[in-house]
Protein backbone atom coordinates (compact mmCIF):
# COMPACT_ATOMS: atom_id res chain seq x y z
CA UNK A 1 0.00 0.00 0.00
CA UNK A 2 2.85 2.41 0.82
CA UNK A 3 5.85 2.97 -1.47
CA UNK A 4 8.79 0.94 -0.16
CA UNK A 5 11.16 3.93 -0.55
CA UNK A 6 8.95 5.89 1.84
CA UNK A 7 8.95 3.05 4.37
CA UNK A 8 12.70 2.56 4.26
CA UNK A 9 13.27 6.29 4.59
CA UNK A 10 10.99 6.36 7.64
CA UNK A 11 12.72 3.37 9.20
CA UNK A 12 16.04 5.19 9.26
CA UNK A 13 14.89 8.78 9.82
CA UNK A 14 15.84 10.39 13.13
CA UNK A 15 14.26 13.84 12.88
CA UNK A 16 10.56 14.00 12.07
CA UNK A 17 8.11 16.90 12.29
CA UNK A 18 4.35 16.76 11.81
CA UNK A 19 1.89 19.58 11.19
CA UNK A 20 -1.75 18.78 11.95
CA UNK A 21 -4.96 20.67 11.25
CA UNK A 22 -8.71 20.34 11.67
CA UNK A 23 -8.84 17.25 9.43
CA UNK A 24 -7.08 15.16 12.10
CA UNK A 25 -9.89 15.88 14.55
CA UNK A 26 -12.65 15.51 11.95
CA UNK A 27 -13.02 11.79 12.70
CA UNK A 28 -13.43 12.64 16.40
CA UNK A 29 -16.44 14.72 15.47
CA UNK A 30 -14.85 18.01 16.51
CA UNK A 31 -16.85 20.64 14.71
CA UNK A 32 -14.89 23.14 12.67
CA UNK A 33 -15.63 26.81 13.02
CA UNK A 34 -18.39 26.58 10.47
CA UNK A 35 -19.91 23.36 11.82
CA UNK A 36 -20.14 24.95 15.24
CA UNK A 37 -22.52 27.57 13.85
CA UNK A 38 -25.75 25.77 14.61
CA UNK A 39 -28.75 26.44 16.81
CA UNK A 40 -28.41 29.58 18.83
CA UNK A 41 -25.19 30.51 17.08
CA UNK A 42 -26.36 30.03 13.50
CA UNK A 43 -26.70 33.73 12.80
CA UNK A 44 -23.21 34.67 13.98
CA UNK A 45 -20.20 34.84 11.70
CA UNK A 46 -17.18 33.16 13.35
CA UNK A 47 -14.91 35.76 11.83
CA UNK A 48 -16.90 38.27 13.87
CA UNK A 49 -16.57 36.27 17.10
CA UNK A 50 -12.96 35.15 17.04
CA UNK A 51 -11.38 38.58 17.02
CA UNK A 52 -9.95 40.94 19.64
CA UNK A 53 -12.46 43.54 18.42
CA UNK A 54 -15.44 41.28 19.03
CA UNK A 55 -14.17 40.63 22.56
CA UNK A 56 -13.78 44.35 23.22
CA UNK A 57 -17.28 45.04 21.91
CA UNK A 58 -19.07 42.16 23.63
CA UNK A 59 -16.86 40.03 25.91
CA UNK A 60 -19.80 38.04 27.34
CA UNK A 61 -20.95 37.00 23.85
CA UNK A 62 -17.48 35.79 22.85
CA UNK A 63 -17.06 34.05 26.22
CA UNK A 64 -20.38 32.21 25.71
CA UNK A 65 -19.47 31.14 22.17
CA UNK A 66 -16.23 29.60 23.40
CA UNK A 67 -18.04 27.94 26.32
CA UNK A 68 -20.32 26.35 23.73
CA UNK A 69 -17.42 25.19 21.56
CA UNK A 70 -15.54 23.96 24.66
CA UNK A 71 -18.53 21.79 25.57
CA UNK A 72 -18.63 20.30 22.05
CA UNK A 73 -14.91 19.56 22.24
CA UNK A 74 -15.20 18.07 25.75
CA UNK A 75 -17.47 15.39 24.31
CA UNK A 76 -14.89 14.42 21.65
CA UNK A 77 -12.39 11.57 22.05
CA UNK A 78 -9.09 11.04 20.24
CA UNK A 79 -9.33 8.92 17.08
CA UNK A 80 -6.85 6.42 15.57
CA UNK A 81 -4.92 9.28 13.90
CA UNK A 82 -4.20 10.89 17.28
CA UNK A 83 -3.15 7.55 18.78
CA UNK A 84 -0.90 6.66 15.83
CA UNK A 85 0.86 10.03 16.14
CA UNK A 86 1.36 9.46 19.87
CA UNK A 87 3.00 6.11 19.07
CA UNK A 88 5.19 7.65 16.38
CA UNK A 89 6.70 9.96 18.98
CA UNK A 90 8.45 6.96 20.56
CA UNK A 91 9.95 5.79 17.26
CA UNK A 92 12.06 8.83 16.42
CA UNK A 93 14.76 10.40 18.60
CA UNK A 94 13.68 13.90 17.51
CA UNK A 95 9.92 14.20 16.96
CA UNK A 96 7.79 17.36 16.99
CA UNK A 97 4.04 17.48 16.67
CA UNK A 98 3.02 20.95 15.55
CA UNK A 99 -0.73 21.49 15.68
CA UNK A 100 -3.13 24.20 14.63
CA UNK A 101 -5.90 22.50 16.60
CA UNK A 102 -7.06 24.00 19.88
CA UNK A 103 -8.87 20.87 21.09
CA UNK A 104 -6.05 19.22 23.10
CA UNK A 105 -6.88 15.79 21.60
CA UNK A 106 -3.21 15.07 20.81
CA UNK A 107 -2.41 15.35 24.50
CA UNK A 108 -5.43 13.21 25.39
CA UNK A 109 -4.07 10.52 23.05
CA UNK A 110 -0.70 10.53 24.82
CA UNK A 111 1.45 12.82 22.65
CA UNK A 112 3.89 14.93 24.64
CA UNK A 113 6.13 16.69 22.11
CA UNK A 114 3.32 19.05 21.12
CA UNK A 115 3.71 22.59 19.81
CA UNK A 116 0.37 24.39 19.93
CA UNK A 117 0.44 27.13 17.32
CA UNK A 118 -3.11 28.42 17.83
CA UNK A 119 -3.45 27.95 21.58
CA UNK A 120 -5.73 25.66 23.55
CA UNK A 121 -9.43 26.11 24.23
CA UNK A 122 -9.07 24.40 27.62
CA UNK A 123 -6.98 27.30 28.92
CA UNK A 124 -7.81 30.94 29.47
CA UNK A 125 -5.56 33.97 29.63
CA UNK A 126 -5.95 37.46 30.96
CA UNK A 127 -6.72 39.96 28.22
CA UNK A 128 -4.66 42.53 30.18
CA UNK A 129 -1.64 40.86 31.78
CA UNK A 130 -1.54 37.68 29.68
CA UNK A 131 -1.31 35.27 32.65
CA UNK A 132 -2.81 31.87 31.76
CA UNK A 133 -4.97 29.52 33.82
CA UNK A 134 -6.62 26.17 33.29
CA UNK A 135 -9.34 26.58 35.93
CA UNK A 136 -11.77 29.45 36.43
CA UNK A 137 -15.19 30.24 37.85
CA UNK A 138 -17.65 31.96 35.55
CA UNK A 139 -20.70 31.34 37.73
CA UNK A 140 -20.78 34.95 38.93
CA UNK A 141 -19.27 37.05 36.20
CA UNK A 142 -18.87 36.37 32.48
CA UNK A 143 -16.10 36.56 31.54
CA UNK A 144 -14.53 36.06 34.94
CA UNK A 145 -11.65 38.31 36.03
CA UNK A 146 -7.95 37.62 36.35
CA UNK A 147 -6.98 36.93 39.94
CA UNK A 148 -3.68 38.77 39.47
CA UNK A 149 -4.74 42.06 37.84
CA UNK A 150 -8.55 42.07 37.59
CA UNK A 151 -8.50 42.07 33.76
CA UNK A 152 -11.04 40.06 31.78
CA UNK A 153 -10.22 36.42 31.08
CA UNK A 154 -10.47 35.18 27.48
CA UNK A 155 -9.80 31.82 25.82
CA UNK A 156 -6.07 31.16 25.31
CA UNK A 157 -6.44 30.80 21.54
CA UNK A 158 -5.13 32.83 18.63
CA UNK A 159 -7.79 35.07 17.12
CA UNK A 160 -7.97 36.46 13.59
CA UNK A 161 -5.54 39.34 13.31
CA UNK A 162 -3.42 38.19 16.27
CA UNK A 163 0.17 36.96 16.24
CA UNK A 164 1.00 33.38 17.10
CA UNK A 165 2.75 32.72 20.42
CA UNK A 166 6.34 33.63 19.48
CA UNK A 167 7.93 30.77 21.39
CA UNK A 168 5.66 28.14 19.77
CA UNK A 169 6.25 29.59 16.31
CA UNK A 170 10.00 29.66 16.86
CA UNK A 171 10.08 26.03 18.00
CA UNK A 172 7.86 25.00 15.06
CA UNK A 173 10.17 26.70 12.56
CA UNK A 174 13.23 25.08 14.10
CA UNK A 175 11.56 21.66 13.99
CA UNK A 176 10.59 22.19 10.34
CA UNK A 177 14.11 23.27 9.42
CA UNK A 178 15.87 20.30 10.98
CA UNK A 179 13.31 17.63 9.96
CA UNK A 180 14.35 14.85 7.61
CA UNK A 181 10.68 13.99 7.11
CA UNK A 182 7.84 16.49 7.42
CA UNK A 183 4.22 15.35 7.49
CA UNK A 184 1.39 17.76 6.67
CA UNK A 185 -1.79 16.08 7.87
CA UNK A 186 -5.42 17.22 7.72
CA UNK A 187 -4.68 20.83 7.02
CA UNK A 188 -5.81 22.93 4.10
CA UNK A 189 -2.39 24.61 4.31
CA UNK A 190 -3.74 28.06 3.56
CA UNK A 191 -3.60 29.78 6.96
CA UNK A 192 -0.26 31.46 7.56
CA UNK A 193 2.23 31.21 9.09
CA UNK A 194 1.53 27.49 9.66
CA UNK A 195 1.18 26.94 5.92
CA UNK A 196 4.80 28.02 5.42
CA UNK A 197 6.19 25.26 7.63
CA UNK A 198 5.95 22.43 5.06
CA UNK A 199 7.51 24.74 2.46
CA UNK A 200 10.31 25.65 4.84
CA UNK A 201 10.99 21.98 5.63
CA UNK A 202 11.01 21.07 1.92
CA UNK A 203 13.43 23.89 1.14
CA UNK A 204 15.80 22.56 3.79
CA UNK A 205 15.73 19.14 2.16
CA UNK A 206 13.05 17.27 4.13
CA UNK A 207 10.97 14.59 2.49
CA UNK A 208 7.46 16.06 2.45
CA UNK A 209 4.51 13.73 3.02
CA UNK A 210 0.92 14.95 2.87
CA UNK A 211 -2.05 13.02 4.27
CA UNK A 212 -5.37 14.47 3.19
CA UNK A 213 -8.38 13.21 1.22
CA UNK A 214 -8.06 16.31 -0.95
CA UNK A 215 -5.33 18.21 -2.73
CA UNK A 216 -4.05 21.40 -1.10
CA UNK A 217 -1.71 24.19 -2.20
CA UNK A 218 1.27 22.20 -0.89
CA UNK A 219 0.39 19.01 -2.79
CA UNK A 220 2.59 19.97 -5.76
CA UNK A 221 5.60 20.15 -3.39
CA UNK A 222 4.89 16.85 -1.66
CA UNK A 223 7.12 13.85 -2.34
CA UNK A 224 4.22 11.63 -1.32
CA UNK A 225 0.56 12.69 -1.24
CA UNK A 226 -1.34 9.96 0.59
CA UNK A 227 -5.00 10.42 -0.25
CA UNK A 228 -7.46 9.39 2.43
CA UNK A 229 -8.49 9.85 6.01
CA UNK A 230 -5.79 10.38 8.61
CA UNK A 231 -7.54 7.93 10.94
CA UNK A 232 -7.09 5.17 8.38
CA UNK A 233 -3.77 6.05 6.76
CA UNK A 234 -1.72 6.81 9.89
CA UNK A 235 -2.37 3.52 11.75
CA UNK A 236 -1.66 1.60 8.51
CA UNK A 237 1.55 3.56 7.93
CA UNK A 238 2.68 2.98 11.52
CA UNK A 239 1.98 -0.71 11.14
CA UNK A 240 3.85 -0.92 7.84
CA UNK A 241 6.81 1.01 9.27
CA UNK A 242 7.20 -1.12 12.35
CA UNK A 243 6.47 -4.50 10.76
CA UNK A 244 9.52 -6.70 11.20
CA UNK A 245 11.71 -6.91 8.12
CA UNK A 246 11.40 -10.70 8.07
CA UNK A 247 7.62 -10.48 7.83
CA UNK A 248 7.86 -8.33 4.76
CA UNK A 249 9.52 -11.05 2.72
N1 LIG B 1 -8.22 13.12 7.43
C2 LIG B 1 -7.31 13.99 6.92
N3 LIG B 1 -7.63 15.20 6.42
C4 LIG B 1 -8.93 15.53 6.44
C5 LIG B 1 -9.94 14.68 6.94
C6 LIG B 1 -9.54 13.41 7.46
N7 LIG B 1 -10.42 12.53 7.96
N8 LIG B 1 -11.14 15.32 6.81
C9 LIG B 1 -10.88 16.51 6.26
N10 LIG B 1 -9.56 16.65 6.01
C11 LIG B 1 -8.84 17.79 5.45
C12 LIG B 1 -9.61 18.64 4.48
O13 LIG B 1 -9.51 18.11 3.15
C14 LIG B 1 -8.89 19.98 4.61
O15 LIG B 1 -7.80 20.07 3.71
O16 LIG B 1 -8.54 18.64 6.52
C17 LIG B 1 -8.36 19.97 6.03
C18 LIG B 1 -9.07 20.91 7.00
O19 LIG B 1 -8.83 22.22 6.58
P20 LIG B 1 -9.29 23.51 7.45
O21 LIG B 1 -10.71 23.31 7.92
O22 LIG B 1 -8.94 24.71 6.68
O23 LIG B 1 -8.42 23.37 8.78
P24 LIG B 1 -6.96 23.89 9.11
O25 LIG B 1 -6.03 23.73 7.96
O26 LIG B 1 -6.60 23.26 10.41
O27 LIG B 1 -7.25 25.44 9.35
C28 LIG B 1 -6.22 26.25 9.86
O29 LIG B 1 -7.73 28.10 10.21
O30 LIG B 1 -9.96 28.02 10.85
C31 LIG B 1 -8.70 28.52 11.19
O32 LIG B 1 -7.51 28.85 13.21
C33 LIG B 1 -8.28 27.91 12.50
O34 LIG B 1 -6.47 26.41 13.06
C35 LIG B 1 -7.41 26.73 12.07
C36 LIG B 1 -6.75 27.28 10.82
pLDDT tens column, 230-242: 999 999 999 999 9
Ligand 1 centroid to residue 30 C-alpha, Å:
11
Cα 39 to Cα 16, 25, 61: the distances in Å are 42, 22, 15
| 27 CA: nearest ligand 1 atom | 7
pLDDT digits (tens, 9 = 90+) for 94-110: 999 999 999 999 999 99
Q: What count of Cα atoms within 13 Å lies in the side-chain half-sphere of residue 97? A: 24
Interatomic CA distance for residues 19 and 99, integer angstroms? 6
Q: Is 118 a catalytic residue?
A: yes
pLDDT digits (tens, 9 = 90+) for 96-149: 999 999 999 999 999 999 999 999 999 999 999 999 999 999 899 999 999 999
Domain range list for the chain: 4-29+77-118+164-248, 39-74
Give this prediction's pTM.
Answer: 0.94
Instruction: Write the CB contacts of 135 (distance below 8 Å, at least 6 apart in sequence).
Output: none
Cα dihedral 232, 237, 242, 244 in deg (nearest 10) = 100
**Beta-carbon neighbour count of residue 112 at 10 Å?**
11
Ligand 1 centroid to residue 67 C-alpha, Å:
22
Domain 4-29+77-118+164-248, classified CATH 3.40.50.1220, yes or no: yes
Amino acid sequence: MFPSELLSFLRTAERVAVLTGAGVSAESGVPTFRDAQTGLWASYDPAQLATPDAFRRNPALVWDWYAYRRALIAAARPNPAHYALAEMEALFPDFSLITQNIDALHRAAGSRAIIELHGNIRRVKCAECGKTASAWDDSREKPPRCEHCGGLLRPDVVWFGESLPPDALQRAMEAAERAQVFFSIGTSAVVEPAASLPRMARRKGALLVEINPEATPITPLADYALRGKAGEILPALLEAMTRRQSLRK
